[in-house]
Structure 1
Amino acid sequence: MIKLRTINIRISTLLLPLGLALVGCAGDPLESGVDPFAPMVFKEGATAMPLNPPNKASIQPFYVSQQTIFKFAVDTNSILIGNDGITRYIVILTSPNGNSQVQYEGIRCDSFQWRLYGTFEGSTWKENPLSSWRAIQDNTPNRYQAALAQGAFCNFTSQEKNIKNIIQSLNPNGFTGQIKPTNSYGVVN
């Protein structure tokens, strides 16, 4: 009888922690309101338009593709790494004749999408009332959103959270937008 009681006590002491662990894991997701298997729903945070035009001292040109005739630059002071997974920034697009367009945009790394929030016209920012998320085009000459996403703002499908890493990635001596520009001899231009 004593041996049987000792065995029961030993088994009870071994099974008690296991049982408590299972009870802790067995929470009802309907009661807690959190279902760990439910798909994540994207919720965009509030976006305020910039207050100032691009800062000429912090404009950083970046490489887009060999096929483009435009020049592209980003205002590094405007880069905002949002908690909602969106990296917002001011980009300057310059045509061959010297005309520039300044835009405030956002990039989502998780879905590889971009959004135009507004443009700088005259001396004020104008919101884009028809703004919506669009797929980033990776196979066009003016693929600047893809170059920013692949070369600086994203780590595959994750948002880069360190502003120093982003600014270092935008360095024109090393930035390629994930595509090395080479001539026919394999020399980087």
Structure 2
Amino acid sequence: MTLLHPIVRGGLLALVCFSAPAVAGLLTDPDPEWKEGEHTLPTPPREAALREFFVSSASPNHFYIDEDSIVVAEDGVVRYTLVIRTSGGATNVTHEGIRCATGSWRLYATGRAGGQWTAARDEEWKPIVDNAYNRPRSALSEDHICDGPVPPRDRDEVLKRLRGEASTFMKSGK
């Protein structure tokens, strides 16, 4: 058995103690009775409906949300289709949801050639953490979809935000 130096052991303990509540807090549900509503997968994205949004200057990829697919549902989930085009020419299509109340996201399906959807195997909600993999979701939730834990009023509000037409209310932070 390898014993850790007391300083390393203390540092690891501090890391666990301080980061565990932060991660656990990301998925604390303010409404423990919440139930996800039913939804249907949208039609495949149309080129004319793709709206590019900024994710990071460090990424060579281009990120789009399919405006036709945006739904602000009664269960508080904002569902959308995300299209990522890599610098190498690959295109990734996913249908996802963001739940502002918990700062979490879920993958519903991945797009296939010919406009087919393949249902996701993992149905778990995951915290939106601002890292390379989650950066598109973080950018969407922070810049276009959520007001902290509050979802937008409706689909039109999300479209206005994506198009840079956010209301004076949103821009002033009041």
Q: Compute the TM-score of the two structures, normalised by the length of structure 1.
A: 0.66
Equivalenced residues, count: 136
Check conservation: 2:37, 2:75, Cα contact below 8 A.
Answer: yes
Q: Which runs of 5+ in 1 are unaligned?
A: 1-37, 175-189
1:105 touches 1:114 (CA, 8 Å); kept in 2?
A: yes
Aligned to 1:127: 119
Deviations 1:112-158 (A, max 9, x none): 00000001112211111222101111243760001111111111110
Q: C-alpha distance in 2, partners of 1:141/1:92?
A: 14
- Structure 2 partner of 1:144: 136
Contact 2:69 2:81 in 1 (8 A): yes
Deviates more, 1:139-148 or 1:66-75: 139-148
Query: Do the aligned residues in 2 keep the contact of 1:68 with 1:141 (CA within 8 Å)?
Result: no
Say whether residues 1:80 and 2:75 are aligned partners: no
Aligned partner of 2:95: which letter? Y
Q: Percent identity?
A: 30
Of the structure 1 ranges 63-72 and 138-147, higher mean CA displacement relative to structure 2 is found in: 138-147
Aligned partner of 1:108 among 96, 99, 103? 99
Residues in 2 aligned to 1:125 and 1:39: alpha-carbon distance in whole angstroms: 31
Contact 2:99–2:151 (Cα < 8 Å) also in 1: yes
Name the CA shift for 1:76/1:91 in 2 (closer, same or farther; >3 Å): same
Asked if 2 retains the 8 angstrom alpha-carbon contact of 1:113 and 1:133, the reply is yes
SS of residue in 1 equivalent to 2:34: coil
Q: What secondary structure, in the 3-state scheme, does the structure 1 residue paired with 2:35 have?
A: coil
Match of 2:62 in 1: 71
The verdict on how the C-alpha distance between 1:85 and 1:70 changes in structure 2, with shifts beyond 3 A counting, is same
- Higher radius of gyration, 1 or 2: 1
- Confirm or deny: 8 A CA contact 1:72 1:93 kept in the other structure: yes
The SS at the match of 1:160 is: coil
Unaligned runs of 5+ in 2: 1-29, 167-174
For residues 143 and 87 of structure 1, the distance between their equivalents in structure 2, rounded to whole angstroms, comes to: 17
User: In structure 2, what is the equivalent of residue 118 of structure 1?
Assistant: 109
Instruction: Please give the per-residue CA displacement for 1:83-136, whole angstroms capped at 9, x wherever unaligned.
Output: 001000001011111110110000000110000000111221111122210111
What CA distance in whole angstroms lies between the structure 1 residues aligned with 2:96 and 2:54? 18
Code of the aligned partner of 2:56: S
SS in 1 for 2:82: strand
Pick aligned residue for 2:150 from 145, 158, 161: 158
TM-score normalized by structure 2? 0.72
Q: 1:48 aligns with which of 40, 46, 55?
A: 40
RMSD: 2.0
